[in-house]
């Protein structure tokens, strides 16, 4: 199979990260950590992978996500789906829905959902899900929903076989050529700049490299304390369950506190920033 240039760019971007962190040296560190066992293994891991290392690894990974190689690769890979390829995929999907076995499975899933959800709830959920999507993309999904909307009430009251027959009928009449034309137009909008902007927004919402390091080491130290307490206990089998529950509760609080502090720091203006009043 011929390699796609967009996918090649993505592979190369992540190869750079792997070359730095997936190394024989790190494999040895992990082996030594596993060999230590229990509390000693956790402590060994914290020593082998100090906070500064974890922070750098997190920042390097975020850097890969924000890199031009990744944004170019994703853009090229998505834009390679021209109208003909999109139509071929849609035709294949609609053909599958027209098979009796597939339509029966889909019909059962539809009835299960409709038994718990009203039409208004479905439409509201769809609108909420599409609120952040591009106008063209939202239009395509809503157009597909409108194709299926008339069958919702009938599907609630009909048998699985009846619904399956409706699924097959709709699949046979969906205008894949028109949808493919709209979808192909959307893929052309996925420029490297747009991908980069989206990646930057996603990374901005993730914990900072420092926060990741604090979380990893905070959880490690907490686990070490709990394992140490179990090892020193006279009834370790009984105490292990309580220690696990304590760890889960304390870990949740620890992570929440670190992320809250990280978000607070992100909201602060950079040092030296000046504002015109």
d(CA 135, CA 17): 35
Burial of 211 (0-12, 13-18, 19+ CB in 10 A): buried
Query: What pTM did the predictor assign?
Result: 0.60
What does the pLDDT read at residue 3? 53
What does the pLDDT read at residue 219? 94
d(CA 73, CA 79): 10
Contacts of range 31-37, beta carbons closer than 8 Å, 24 or more positions apart? none
Contact 7, 74 (CB under 8 A): no
Q: How far is CA 135 from CA 50, 141, 185, in A?
A: 46, 10, 12
Take residue 39 and report the two structure tokens written for it: 């509390």
208: which DSSP letter? Answer: P
d(CA 188, CA 107): 34
What does the pLDDT read at residue 8? 76
Measured over the CA atoms of residue 262, residue 263, residue 265 and residue 270, the dihedral's sign is positive
Instruction: Give me the helices (H) in the chain, please.
Output: 5-21, 24-36, 38-48, 51-65, 68-79, 83-97, 100-114, 119-130, 135-148, 151-157, 160-173, 176-187, 192-205, 209-232, 236-267
Instruction: Give pLDDT < 70 ranges for the chain.
Output: 1-6, 36, 81-82, 132-138, 140, 270-277
What does the pLDDT read at residue 1? 42
Q: Read off the pLDDT of residues 26-81 as tens digits, 9 standing for 90 and up.
A: 888 888 777 767 888 889 889 999 999 999 999 999 999 888 888 888 888 877 76
What does the domain layout of the chain look like in residue ranges? 5-76+193-267, 81-191
Torsion of CA 12, 16, 17, 19, to 10 degrees: 120
Please, which residues have CB within 8 angstroms of residue 5's CB and are 6 or more apart in sequence?
76
């Amino acid at each position: 199979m011929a390699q796609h240039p967009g996918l090649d760019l993505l592979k190369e971007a992540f190869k750079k990260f792997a070359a730095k962190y997936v190394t024989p040296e790190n494999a040895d560190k992990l082996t030594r950590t596993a060999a230590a066992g229990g509390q000693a293994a956790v402590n060994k891991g914290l020593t082998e992978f100090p906070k500064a290392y974890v922070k750098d690894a997190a920042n390097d990974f975020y850097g890969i996500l924000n890199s031009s190689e990744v944004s170019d690769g994703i853009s090229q890979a998505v834009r390679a789906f021209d109208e003909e390829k999109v139509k071929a995929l849609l035709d294949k999907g609609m053909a599958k829905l027209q098979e009796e076995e597939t339509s029966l499975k889909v019909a059962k899933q539809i009835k299960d959902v409709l038994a718990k959800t009203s039409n208004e709830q479905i439409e509201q959920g769809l609108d909420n899900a599409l609120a952040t999507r591009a106008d063209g993309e939202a239009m395509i999904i809503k157009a597909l929903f409108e194709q299926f909307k008339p069958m919702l009430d009938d599907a609630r009251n009909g048998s699985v076989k009846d619904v399956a027959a409706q699924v097959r009928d709709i699949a046979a009449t969906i205008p894949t050529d028109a949808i493919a034309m709209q979808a192909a137009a959307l893929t052309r909008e996925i420029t490297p700049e747009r991908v980069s902007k989206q990646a930057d927004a996603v990374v901005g919402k993730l914990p900072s490299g420092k926060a990741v390091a604090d979380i990893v080491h905070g959880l490690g130290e907490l686990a070490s304390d709990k394992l140490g307490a179990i090892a020193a206990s006279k009834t370790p089998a009984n105490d292990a369950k309580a220690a696990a529950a304590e760890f889960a509760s304390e870990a949740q609080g620890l992570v929440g506190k670190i992320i809250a502090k990280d978000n607070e720091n992100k909201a602060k203006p950079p040092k030296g920033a000046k504002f015109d009043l």
